Amino acid sequence: MLKILVANSKGGCGKSTIATNLAAHYAHEGKNTVLVDTDRQGSSQRWCERRAGFANPVLPIPGTRADWAAHIPNGTQRIIIDAPAAIRPQDVDAFLDNVDAVIVPILPSRIDLDATATFLAGIASLSRIKRGKVPVGLVGNRMKPWTIASQQAVEEIKTFGFPLVAQLHDSQGYVLMTGLGKSIFDYSSETVRSHQEDWGKLLRWLKKLN
């Protein structure tokens, strides 16, 4: 069973977008996939509910209660945890005994870069991360690689002490698909395939952990 925490203390960075699309990818692979929504806004849970009638559903588990792990069904192969908003490093520590990796989405703005640098400095000191027991991967989100701002952001992210494992292009398609309970992996047009390729490095990084 592969268990992945998607977290950042900075709100609006795309945690739920990463969590839902990652869950959909594994569901498309035929894996029994659970999405644990620990954010009180419940965005990921509503996405799962919209997806319930699809051929590749993802089971939602409300994660706002302390006993959520007891509700994970037998036979689950992938667990994606959408962390709560404004999560603190000490809150991340509470998850680390039960996850195999942490993914941190980062937007290429000055405010987001500064906030994420502080968050990463905090989790870098946590015992299981410091000892290399739980790897951390950074995902540049809503990137516009043709702009100087995104290019400079990438160079800065590379100094944060953890690997940059994906750069996801900015696209309104993610917003539209989320509202439908769908994902980037539910389509096969040429345009969508180019966005799917953005996920390749991240998926290969995660595969090495399993």
Percent of the chain with pLDDT over 90: 68
Task: Scan for tokens 């309104």, then name that residue.
Answer: 172
> Which residues have C-beta within 8 Å of that of residue 66, sequence separation ≥ 6?
none
- Sketch out the chain's domains with CATH numbers: 2-207 (3.40.50.300)
- Rg, Å, the chain Cα set: 16
**20-151-200-91 Cα dihedral, nearest 10 degrees:** -40
Per residue in 48-102, pLDDT (tens digit) is: 999 988 889 999 999 888 888 889 999 999 999 999 888 999 999 999 988 999 9
Give the pLDDT confidence score for residue 28 in this predicted structure. 94
Per residue in 7-19, pLDDT (tens digit) is: 999 888 889 999 9
Evaluate if pTM is beyond 0.85.
yes
